């Protein structure tokens, strides 16, 4: 109920953050969309202009407003949004839904690497209008510098970033509206372009008009960020702020349409319709504001990527990397490793393409895949929620047709840079696939045993004074979900690898839930004052601080007289000294004693190679490194059989 209130409450601060972090991409589309549709070398055609405006109006209405703002924002996972949050809601119904989730998530992350470079580069290139002699390398240097600062400030959290960027975006959208109104006042008949007939005429009757959809799509590329960032801003704040944003965008698009219509028959050349709406005295100010806004455009995909990765870790699609929560507000998250990878990817894209015009081919193709996959998952979500069958079929048919058309039209960009975004997406999807396959292989072949079968042995070991005491309390981190079970490797560690004598044995299992903010635990008393199993149920947005949480659990148990944690050394017991705690984390490695099929060997070798660069198990669980023992245990997935070893006489 609290989470429902959180996402459905409108506040001035929430609206400001929403404007600052999620509308940068879609909000700066007037800078390049109509220019891309008309083309710099083509003659301005009145039929194309009106058809383009009609396509833009209906794309923003059908795609952004109806699909995302009205429908998909309903599918929240306790306030969290994004394609993986949607997948978490439906995955228990059908395993095949994993495929669209991986494709959509990887394509969105790939788009997050393309969006910041094209946004910032297109803004900085505006300096050529003020300084015609500026060189390409100077522009590249400025772009990389701005991107570096942008990624650096992510550590402060989206609340700080959004509050700082929000006022700038209010100025930006206000400027869009004022410029648009001033131009529309010269020819109000341009508003007739809302008639869908003009869109039909362009796409069906105008020669090659269908392929212009690839450029029309630029007006809605940031729509997925509205859903991905729901946890950062709240559903109500997004819906209210979108009304303001959409009006400002449409006013500016139609204002540009008036200018284009008045120059029909001419070539656009180097002129940018957006800047042509500005009086000459305002041009410098306008470029500064536009530059600021396009820098902010990168924020939507960056914050969305953090959300995406935190959900992917929960779903076993991504390595366990360090997550940080820089704000006390729900939904605020920062992923240092992903921030670094995105920064390196963005710098690489800038150095490879060098100019924004070269990046256009790579832009938009990947995000159409994400939107299509979101449509498929949403249709299944509606079906699982028992919506009317005809409504589900209508939703699926309409949006597969719309987004399928955008995808086909965008495919012409493939050889002009689109291959870069698809290559990035395929690489990310490959990591997700490998991680999921490796998890399933390990899960299928990990051996579990019942704890009570070893209870007598544990008690005898605990009282065997011939063995040096390893610690007063030993805490084993376990993957066994059932309260009565633990891994056989833990039994091996206790009794065989090096006998670990302790007064009390604790087995701790962490169950990461689909609910993002769950914080619960349960205790299974295996033997009073000898062995306990603690199961924590933690939401995927809760920082795993097991050291702190276990201390709280034991304090509660001591208060309820369920356990005595006083040291059992006589001298210390008389002084009521609490015994020491030692954590043991079993870290698996791929044993040489494996006979795996080639495909599984590649999967597991790649998995362990990547794992070597990720956060260690003890840091992931938030354990105090001074009291943690990491034990390497071999993962024997399939032992080698039929060894041809012959004994010969001595």
Tell me: the pLDDT tens digits for 242-287?
Answer: 989 999 999 999 999 999 998 888 887 777 888 888 888 888 888 8
Q: Name the residue with higher pLDDT: 295 or 394.
A: 394
What pLDDT score does 1 carry? 42
Least confident span in 83-97, 150-164, 484-498, 530-544: 150-164
Kindly state the average pLDDT of the residues 221-225: 80
Q: For residue 63, give every residue at least 6 positions away whose Cβ sits within 8 Å of its Cβ, in sequence order, or none.
A: 220, 223, 371, 402, 403
Find tokens 């833009």 and name the residue.
56
Kindly state the average pLDDT of the residues 144-165: 75
Q: Which helix (H) or strand (E) holds 107?
A: helix 98-124
What pLDDT score does 375 carry? 92
What pLDDT score does 252 carry? 94
For residue 488, pLDDT beyond 70: yes
Q: For residue 423, give every residue at least 6 positions away whose Cβ sits within 8 Å of its Cβ, in sequence order, or none.
A: none
How many helices (H) and strands (E) would you count in the chain? 27, 8
Strands 628-635 and 581-590: parallel
What pLDDT score does 332 carry? 62
φ/ψ of 470, rounded to 5, equals -75, -45
For residue 571, pLDDT beyond 70: no
For residue 385, pLDDT beyond 80: yes
What the block records as the tokens of 635 is: 């993962």
Kindly state the average pLDDT of the residues 209-216: 85
Strands 469-478 and 501-513: parallel
For residue 8, pLDDT beyond 80: no
- Which of 94-98, 136-140, 299-303 is predicted most confidently? 136-140
Q: Tell me the β-bridge partners of 635.
A: 590
Task: For residue 595, name the pLDDT band (cuts at 50, 70, 90).
Answer: low
CA–centroid distance for 635 within its chain: 30
Kindly state the average pLDDT of the residues 119-144: 81
316 Ramachandran zone, left/alpha/beta (phi>0; psi -120 to 50): left
Tell which residue, 279, 101, 88, has the closest CA to residue 182. 279
Task: For residue 2, name the pLDDT band (cuts at 50, 70, 90).
Answer: very low
Cα dihedral 334, 338, 344, 350 sign: negative
Tell which residue, 70, 98, 78, 106, has the closest CA to residue 382. 70
Kindly state the average pLDDT of the residues 353-378: 81
What the block records as the tokens of 24 is: 């940068």
φ/ψ of 206, rounded to 5, equals -75, 135
Digit-coded pLDDT (tens) for 607-648: 888 877 776 666 767 676 567 777 776 665 555 556 667 778
Cα dihedral 313, 318, 324, 330 sign: negative
For residue 503, pLDDT beyond 80: yes
Residue 632: CB atoms within 10 A of its CB come to: 8
What the block records as the tokens of 361 is: 């081919």
Task: For residue 197, name the pLDDT band (cuts at 50, 70, 90).
Answer: very high
Task: For residue 596, name the pLDDT band (cuts at 50, 70, 90).
Answer: low
Least confident span in 157-171, 318-332, 367-381, 417-431: 318-332
User: CB of 545 within 8 A of CB of 519?
Assistant: no
What pLDDT score does 589 carry? 67
Kindly state the average pLDDT of the residues 578-593: 73
Q: What is the widest separation between alpha-carbon atoms in the chain?
A: 106
Is the pTM value of this prediction over 0.85?
Answer: no
């Amino acid at each position: 109920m609290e989470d429902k209130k959180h996402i459905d409450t409108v506040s001035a601060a929430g609206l400001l953050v929403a404007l600052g972090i999620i509308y940068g991409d879609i909000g700066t589309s007037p800078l390049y969309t109509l220019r891309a549709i008309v083309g710099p070398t083509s003659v301005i055609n009145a039929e194309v202009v009106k058809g383009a405006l009609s396509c833009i109006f209906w794309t923003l209405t059908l795609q952004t407003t109806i699909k995302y703002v009205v429908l998909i924002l309903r599918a929240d996972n306790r306030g969290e949004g994004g394609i993986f949050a949607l997948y978490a809601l439906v995955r228990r119904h059908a395993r095949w839904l994993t495929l669209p989730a991986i494709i959509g998530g990887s394509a969105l992350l790939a788009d997050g690497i393309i969006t910041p470079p094209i946004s910032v580069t297109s803004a900085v290139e505006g300096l050529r209008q003020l300084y015609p002699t500026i060189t390409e390398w100077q522009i590249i240097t400025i772009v990389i510098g701005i991107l570096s600062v942008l990624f650096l400030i992510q550590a402060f959290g989206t609340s700080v970033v959004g509050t700082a960027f929000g006022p700038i975006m209010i100025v930006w959208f206000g400027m869009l509206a004022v410029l648009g109104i001033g131009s529309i006042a010269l020819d109000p008949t341009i508003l007739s372009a809302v008639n869908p007939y003009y869109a039909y005429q362009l796409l069906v009757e105008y020669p090659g008009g269908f392929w212009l959809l690839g450029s029309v799509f630029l007006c809605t590329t940031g729509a997925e960020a509205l859903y991905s960032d729901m946890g950062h801003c709240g559903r109500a704040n997004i819906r209210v702020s979108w009304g303001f944003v959409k009006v400002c965008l449409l006013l500016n698009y139609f204002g540009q349409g008036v200018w284009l219509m008045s120059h029909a028959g001419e070539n656009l050349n180097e002129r940018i319709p957006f800047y042509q709406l500005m009086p000459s005295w305002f041009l410098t100010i306008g470029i500064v504001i536009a530059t600021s806004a396009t820098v902010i455009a990168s924020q939507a995909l960056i914050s969305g990527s953090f959300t995406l990765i935190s959900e992917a870790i929960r779903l076993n699609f991504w390595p366990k990397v360090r997550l940080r929560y820089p704000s006390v507000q729900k939904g605020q998250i920062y992923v240092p490793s992903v921030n670094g990878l995105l920064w390196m990817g963005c710098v690489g894209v800038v150095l490879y393409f060098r100019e924004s015009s070269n990046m256009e081919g790579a832009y938009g193709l990947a995000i159409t895949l994400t939107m299509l996959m979101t449509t498929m998952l949403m249709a299944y979500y509606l079906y699982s929620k028992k919506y009317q069958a005809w409504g589900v079929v209508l939703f699926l048919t309409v949006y597969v047709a719309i987004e399928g058309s955008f995808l086909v039209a965008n495919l012409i960009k493939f050889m002009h840079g689109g291959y870069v975004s698809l290559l990035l997406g395929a690489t990310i999807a490959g990591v997700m696939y490998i991680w999921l396959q490796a998890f399933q292989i390990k899960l299928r072949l990990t051996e579990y045993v019942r704890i009570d079968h070893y209870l007598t042995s544990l008690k005898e070991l605990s009282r065997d004074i011939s063995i040096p005491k390893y610690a007063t309390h030993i805490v084993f981190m376990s993957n066994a979900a059932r309260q009565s079970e633990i891994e056989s490797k833990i039994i091996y560690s206790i009794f065989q690898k090096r006998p670990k004598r302790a007064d009390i044995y604790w087995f701790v299992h962490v169950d990461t839930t689909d609910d993002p903010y769950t914080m619960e635990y349960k205790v299974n008393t295996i033997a009073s004052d000898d062995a306990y199993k603690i199961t924590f149920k933690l939401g995927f947005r809760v920082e795993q601080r097991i050291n702190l949480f276990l201390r709280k659990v034991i304090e509660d148990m001591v208060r309820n007289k369920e356990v005595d944690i006083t040291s059992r050394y006589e001298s210390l017991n008389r002084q009521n000294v609490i015994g020491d705690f030692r954590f043991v984390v079993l870290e698996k490695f791929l044993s040489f004693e494996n006979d795996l099929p080639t495909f599984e060997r590649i999967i597991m070798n790649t998995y362990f190679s990547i794992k070597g660069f990720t956060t260690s198990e003890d840091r992931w669980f938030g354990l105090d490194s001074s009291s943690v023992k990491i034990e390497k245990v071999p993962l024997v997935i399939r032992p080698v059989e039929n060894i041809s070893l012959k004994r010969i006489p001595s």
